[in-house]
A and B are shown apart, each in its own frame.
Chain A
Amino acid sequence: MSSAMWIAVLASAIGTLLIRLLPLLWMRRRLKRLDGEDGVEAMPQWLALLGPMMIAAVLGVSLVPHRLDAVGWLASAIGVLATLAVWYRLRSLGWPVVAGVAAFGAVILIAGMR
């Protein structure tokens, strides 16, 4: 790797770390200033809203199947239903994911056999 490439990789790495770190430090200082208030209450409302919305957005992005045909969408829909059904029953993190992947995989495999 050339030295210019090294600098580019390091700049990307340090920049990404600072994007993740600096807002946290800002918020910690803000919380310190508002000492005594409940931390969650001290958070600006727009910021508290953006957290769950970002997670929902990343869910939306990841829900779009890699293969954009009927099998891909059907497998995703069945995977989602299986995940939700097991989550509704168990309220746990791991098993719903296992069930979702298994259901998604079953549809892909069955479709591949035909």
Chain B
Amino acid sequence: MIDQTTSVSSRPWLSGVHEAFPLLGGYVPVAISFGLIAVQAGFTPWEATLISTLVYAGASQFLFVGMIAGGAPLWLAVVMTLLINVRHAVYGPNLAAWMNASRWWPWLMHGLTDQIFALAHHRFPQLPEAQRLGWFAGAALLAWASWILGTVLGALAGDWLMARWPLLGEILPFALPALFLVLVAPRFTSKRWSLALAISIGVAMLCTLTDYTNIGIPIAAGCGALCFTLIRFTPHKEPS
């Protein structure tokens, strides 16, 4: 396993693949579920795979397929899909400072999911500039490929897989919160940061429990940022 403090590698794309590997525990079971649900909603396996390849945005794909299966107008399904994905707008600018002028970066933005952003935001400052593009390509392409292959698997054999190993679909997705935890933990460096991050986590949990998962992410992040801006802790004064 990769040490977070090491950064030098002769093949940065391989490091990216290696470090994105834990994502598969979350991506593959969810992609299998998507393939299965898409086929049950009347899409062919080929169409489900195409949606995963081109749209490549987890939650919004479920909504897209569900709305269409429920008879919603296509334009509304597109608008809702894009609204759910609006949160991705802050990801690119947050990474821009660590990107060089390569023309490959814009193309790689197709792979900028929540998880890849979290991983890159953590790793870019530690990596030498020359390695970031290769690292990002390796991590993003592995995640994309796993999402597509998971969808194919779910569309073709989802029923059988879920019946055969019902617990795997329940256990493996814990890889995602575990990975996010490892990415967030080093940021608890002061009372101010800790409170803001805890509020963001707590509000997001509350929103999820009340079925406002997607809108909950930007709301929770906004609450955390607001808390960080408004609340300042004064250092203890020694009694004279």
Contact = CB atoms under 8 A, between A and B. Distances in A.
> Considering residues B60, B75, B88, which has the most beta carbons from chain A within 10 angstroms of its beta carbon?
B88
A31 B97 contact: yes
A50 B220 CA distance: 10
A19 B208 CA distance: 23
A23 interface: yes
A32 B203 CA distance: 36
Nearest to B2: A93
B93 A23 contact: yes
B157 interface: no
A24 B96 contact: yes
A8 B80 CA distance: 12
A105 B110 contact: no
Interface string B156-195: 0000000000010011111111111111110100000000
B145 to A, nearest CB: 17
Given A16-B55, A94-B19, 20 more contacts: A9-B50, A13-B56, A16-B82, A28-B99, A46-B225, A51-B121, A53-B200, A57-B201, A58-B114, A59-B183, A59-B184, A60-B203, A63-B201, A64-B209, A76-B174, A93-B1, A97-B178, A100-B181, A104-B171, A105-B174
